[in-house]
Amino acid sequence: MVVGASNTASNNSLNIEAKADGWSRQSEELSFADLDELKGIPPLEPKSGEEFPLPKWYRSIYRKPLCDLSVEDLCKACRQGIHCEGVVPLVVKRLEAEPLAGEMFEGELLVSLSAISNEYWAAHTKAGRKAEALINRVMELIPDDVRSDANECLQKIKGMR
């Protein structure tokens, strides 16, 4: 698969969360291509023939600024662990504005945070605290069929502190 960087907390991990609020407008203008470049990851190879859906999706958004990604794109990035250091703060920001955001179901974006690795949450405690506070604040708004997933995410984040 051609998909870019994972969400592991490695030594070459970007520190784009270093701003006082954990995120900046400038960071939102970055694309996955920019994040790959900053991490020293080679650019995507030219497409050769037919692609599977995930690499095709990734290629379609590779140069799009993070702030222009749709809820569906952000959900996929979380579920795939792609550039979580750039995606998770944006997801939390979007959820603050619309806690039940989702394409397929209400709360999908929030639930996608449960796919973020333990390593990410352990290395990004500020993002974890923001996500935890957000989930706690909106828990009663979350539909019953999604609440268990939100609780799972909450427990995962709490367990990494």
Q: Specify the pLDDT at position 142.
A: 87
Residue 116 lies in a domain: yes
Q: Specify the pLDDT at position 4.
A: 46
- The answer to whether residue 8 scores a pLDDT higher than 50 is no
Mean pLDDT of 13-31: 56
Residue 126 lies in a domain: yes
Residues 127 and 21: their CA atoms lie apart, in Å, by 10
- The answer to whether residue 65 scores a pLDDT higher than 80 is yes
Residues 122 and 92: their CA atoms lie apart, in Å, by 17
Mean pLDDT of 1-5: 42
pLDDT band at 67 (very low <50, low <70, confident <90, very high): very high
Residues 72 and 69: their CA atoms lie apart, in Å, by 8
Q: Specify the pLDDT at position 161.
A: 63
Residue 137 lies in a domain: yes
Instruction: Using a pLDDT cut of 70, give the percent of the chain over it.
Output: 83
- The answer to whether residue 22 scores a pLDDT higher than 70 is no
Better pLDDT: 75 or 1? 75
Its domain, for residue 93, covers: 25-159
Q: Specify the pLDDT at position 108.
A: 94
pTM: predicted TM-score of the whole model, two decimal places: 0.80
Residue 87 lies in a domain: yes
Residue 34 lies in a domain: yes
pLDDT band at 103 (very low <50, low <70, confident <90, very high): very high
Of 89, 120, 125, 94, whose CA–CA distance to 108 is shortest?
94
Q: Write down the mean pLDDT value for the chain.
A: 83
Residue 94 lies in a domain: yes
- Cβ distance 140 to 134 under 8 Å? no
Q: Specify the pLDDT at position 14.
A: 45
Q: How many domains is the chain built from?
A: 1
Mean pLDDT of 98-118: 93
Better pLDDT: 37 or 21? 37
Residue 8 lies in a domain: no
Q: What does DSSP assign to residue 141?
A: G
Residue 11 lies in a domain: no
